[in-house]
Amino acid sequence: FQVLTDQPVTMQPRKTSLKARRIGIWAEDKGFAVSAECSEAVQTAAQAAGEAGAQVLVAKPEVDGNALIDLYLQLLLPILASDMPSPLVKALEAGRPIAKLMARGEPFSIGKWALYSAATHHDWLKADETRRRLKRTMSEFFSRWHAIITPVAPTTAFEHVESGDAVTRLMKVDGKPVPYHMFHAWIALATVCHLPSVVIPVPRRKGELPCGVQIIGPEGGDLDVLAIAEALEAQMGGFQRPPEAVLLAPMPARVKGKPVKVKPEPKTKPVKPVKEKPVKPAKVVKPKPAPKVKPPKPVKPAKGRR
């Protein structure tokens, strides 16, 4: 971790068991979409931690979900836009006054996308200051808790949606349409605040898709979070290999209808080499001698009168 983060690991594992650990549970939030299945996965992990001797209680950090995802996008979009073509960047910068008007009200709109993508250094400094205040909030939170268990995504695996763009595209969570960017909502806290996060699977019911939970700990506590995750995964039965039928099942066709037959390219006849005719040497034309020019006759001086 010291190599990856260029920072010293300040916290060694307190212990390898879950006994007497204080673990918070954050399974739902008004600002974040989450399916009933993913929320139940957190409850399953919480029950397993309690059975192993941990003190498990509902403990939501003092974080506003909508404000958190907005801050996440303020810090993320300038990075994604850093390699945009120069003409597009100039167009976004020129349209900032209009983008500010379009960004009002909606949690995430084309106006906010344009505004955050063309963020100034001053904008980024303001967002970074908000991040630092949030990091202090989480530091105080983790002075009372060893870790917190949350969903890692709002839903299990679903068919990829290719229609629309990053702003207008929708996915479904328990049958309800949700903005596509909300898929990143539950990872925003750890990403923004530089917190260690480990994802582990929970036992799967028959017919259900794989589902995991996220264990988040204090900054610098990577080894401790790994120890909690390892102990909790073992408490829930450890890794369970999916059935062979699932592993060997063919991928479903993405395009409905009859498969399109691709005609092979027609065979082409080999091209015969063209014989080059020898080029006759050009005749050397001797230049004609210049005609002889007769010298002009001398002019006799005129006789003048005395």
Q: What is the pLDDT of residues 35-90, one digit of tens each?
A: 999 999 999 999 999 999 999 999 999 999 889 998 999 999 888 888 888 888 78
More confident residue, 246 or 140: 140
Residue 280 confidence (pLDDT): 63
- Torsion of Cα atoms, 185 then 187 then 190 then 193, to 10°: -40
Return d(Cα 35, Cα 18) in angstroms, integer: 27
The pLDDT of residue 262 is 41
pLDDT (mean) for 8-22: 75
Residue 205 pLDDT = 74
- Identify the pLDDT of residue 219: 92
For the segment 176-229, what is each residue's pLDDT rounded down to a tens digit?
Answer: 998 888 888 999 999 999 999 999 999 887 677 889 999 999 998 988 999 999
pLDDT band at 158 (very low <50, low <70, confident <90, very high): confident
Average pLDDT over residues 161-185: 84
Residue entry with tokens 């597009």 = 88
Lowest mean pLDDT among 4-18, 55-69, 245-259: 245-259
Which pLDDT value is given to residue 255? 45
Residues 90-114: what's their mean pLDDT?
74
The structure's pTM equals: 0.73
**CA–centroid distance for 112 within its chain:** 17
pLDDT at 295: 67
Task: Give long-range contacts, CB 8 A cutoff, 24+ apart: 194-201.
Answer: 194/135, 194/219, 195/138, 195/219, 196/220, 196/221, 196/222, 196/225, 196/226, 197/225, 198/225, 198/226, 198/228, 198/229, 199/152, 200/45, 200/229, 200/232, 200/233, 200/236, 201/233, 201/239, 201/240
The reported pLDDT for the residue numbered 266 is 54
Is the pLDDT at 163 greater than 60? The verdict is yes
Answer yes or no: is pLDDT of 141 > 90.
yes
Residue 20 pLDDT: 87
Q: Which domains does the chain have, with CATH numbers?
A: 2-62+134-238 (3.90.1300.10)
What per-residue confidence (pLDDT) applies to 290? 63
pLDDT for residue 157 = 86
Give the residue with greater pLDDT, 242 vs 183: 183
Name the band, by pLDDT with cuts 50, 70 and 90, for residue 153.
very high
Give me the residue label for tokens 């799967």: 204
Distance CA 61, CA 148 (A): 9
Average pLDDT, the chain: 81
Q: Alpha-carbon distance 38 to 114, whole Å? A: 32
Q: What is the pLDDT of residue 53?
A: 94
Alpha carbon separation from 29 to 65, 68, 72, 129, 183 (Å, rounded)? 7, 12, 16, 24, 14
pLDDT of 27 > 60? The answer is yes
Residue 261 has a pLDDT of 47
